[in-house]
Amino acid sequence: MAQDSTVMIHGSAWKRADIADAVADCRSHQWRREPWVCRDALVQRTGTTSLFVGQRYDPEFYEMVRGGWRHDHCEVCWWTLAEGGDEEHSIGYTDGRRWICRECYHQFIETQAL
């Protein structure tokens, strides 16, 4: 049945097959509920931004910007998580590096159902 092959996330229909790999990967990690807050970023002179997690960098090519990492995306549905605002966007689950939104966590990680 078509209904069985789709799942609703934030009001949008997703094919279960399209998110199965991401969900399986996320289940192998430990997640904790946290408010999303801005973190430091390394901004390459060419414009590419990476999360700063204490790695060494060459200041000739990179600039470290305090609080410059302003959002993340849910590993499963690409929902935007950012600081402040409503809890749907500002609270998620993290493994310390990556994030998943509350809806995906409750639907796929907590319940182990897909």
Q: Which residues from 90-109 bind Zn ion, rule CB under 5 A?
A: 101, 104
Query: Quick check: 77 binds Zn ion (CB under 5 A)?
Result: yes
Least separation in angstroms between CB 77 and Zn ion:
3
Answer for the pair 80, 89: CB distance below 8 angstroms, yes or no. Answer: yes
Q: How far is the CB of 103 from Zn ion (least distance, A)?
A: 6
- Cβ-based nearer residue to Zn ion, 69 or 107: 107
- Nearest approach, Cβ of residue 79 and Zn ion (Å): 4
- The span from the CA of 46 to the CA of 76, in Å, is 29
d(CA 78, CA 63): 27
74 binds Zn ion, rule: CB under 5 A: yes
Kindly list the distances between the CA atom of residue 64 and the CA atoms of 14, 28, 33, 81, 82, in Å, as whole numbers in the listed order.
37, 31, 27, 21, 20
* Nearer of residues 11 and 47 to Zn ion, judged by Cβ: 11
End-to-end Cα separation, the chain, in angstroms: 15
Q: In terms of CB distance, is 31 or 79 closer to Zn ion?
A: 79
Residues that bind Zn ion (CB under 5 A): 74, 76-77, 79, 101, 104
